[in-house]
Amino acid sequence: MEIRPFAEDDIDGAGALLATRHTRHRAAEPLLDARYASAEGATRAVADLWAVEGASGAVAASGGRLVGFLLGTPAPTAAWGPNAWVQAAGHAAVDAETVRDLYALAAARWVADGATAHYAVVPSHDAALVDAWFRLGFGQQQVHALREAPAPGAGAAASVRVRRAVPSDAPALAELDLTLPRHQVRAPVFSGRQPPSFADALAEERESIGDPDYATFVAELDGSVVGSAVGCSVEHSRMHSGPARPDAAGYLAFAAVLPGFRGRGVGRVRGETARSWTAEAGYRTAVTDWRATNLLSSRTWPRLGFRPSFLRLHRVVGY
């Protein structure tokens, strides 16, 4: 088997490998978009990655044909560190073990170029592929999950009222906007993203609360807003791209409950309402994601029927 740098002539072969991988994935999770199970759709996804400035990677060839490929692209956002991303369309192999050889060649260039934070979006159902990444020093950081859009009209507990947000809710929403990042900078998540100021959160809420592309809900308990949730088309999510983006899906982009009101059913009712919104808005699939180390999210969303579809894995080189 020959391992060499990825070149433009490898796009078609890589697309065929990705189509095979995605066909297997759809057998386990039929809600995923069928377009990437075709050579045409998969090849287009690989070509889009290769067109990203700074893209680089590796291929494995045996007997005159490609048996594996891996492509990394940089994310121009300081929050991810000096990085290289293997997106959902960025890798496939006949034998999962080959990914380790591909990474060895590709990552050497990334690190030489100063990119020491590496991310990989991996099909959750493929245990051998996940294991290969784990044995490269990666750990699980994020979960992408989906489920069928449920029948509209989920019921709510009598003590919890969920409704659409109005402009006067902006201060309460701003406080809730800070709740999630405040939670995630603590153990065991230890996120490096610091919460914005209340003034910045309030200004953003006042500007966006009437945006028709987003459905914002608030949950009231005893007359006070104590929770919120935001839904939109999955097209607005950069994290859910390529094979990780189901067709005709609603994305549950944000959800939070004030710390003093957790454990009283607010999160469940808020989640059920946001989940039902996907059907009411005409979507076939509901999509969300969460940090694997967020103990609250990683228990709440599966209880609402969400199944992992992709795992975002992460490694920092040099420690």
pLDDT digits (tens, 9 = 90+) for 68-87: 999 999 998 888 999 999 99
Where along the chain do the CATH 3.40.630.30 domains lie? 2-137, 148-310
pLDDT digits (tens, 9 = 90+) for 231-270: 999 999 999 999 999 999 999 999 999 999 988 888 888 8
pLDDT bracket for residue 180 (50, 70, 90):
very high
- Asked if residue 117 has pLDDT above 60, the reply is yes
Mean pLDDT confidence for 29-33: 98
- Asked if residue 160 has pLDDT above 70, the reply is yes
Q: 3-class secondary structure for the chain?
A: CEEEECCHHHHHHHHHHHHHHHHHHHHHCCCCCHHHHCHHHHHHHHHHHHCCCCCEEEEEEECCEEEEEEEEECCCCHHHCCEEEECCCCEEECCCCHHHHHHHHHHHHHHHCCCCEEEEEEECCCHHHHHHHHCCCCEEEEEEEEEECCCCCCCCCCCEEEEECCHHHHHHHHHHHHHHHHHHCCCCCCCCCCCCCHHHHHHHHHHHCCCCCEEEEEEEECCEEEEEEEEEEHHHCCCCCHHHCCCCEEEEEEEEECHHHCCCCHHHHHHHHHHHHHHHCCCCEEEEEEECCCCCHHHHHHHCCCEEEEEEEEEECCC
pLDDT bracket for residue 1 (50, 70, 90):
very high
Looking at per-residue pLDDT, the higher value among 86 and 192 belongs to 86
148-310 maps to CATH 3.40.630.30: yes
Give me the chain's average pLDDT, please. Answer: 95
Q: Class for domain 2-137, per CATH?
A: alpha beta
pLDDT at position 153: 55
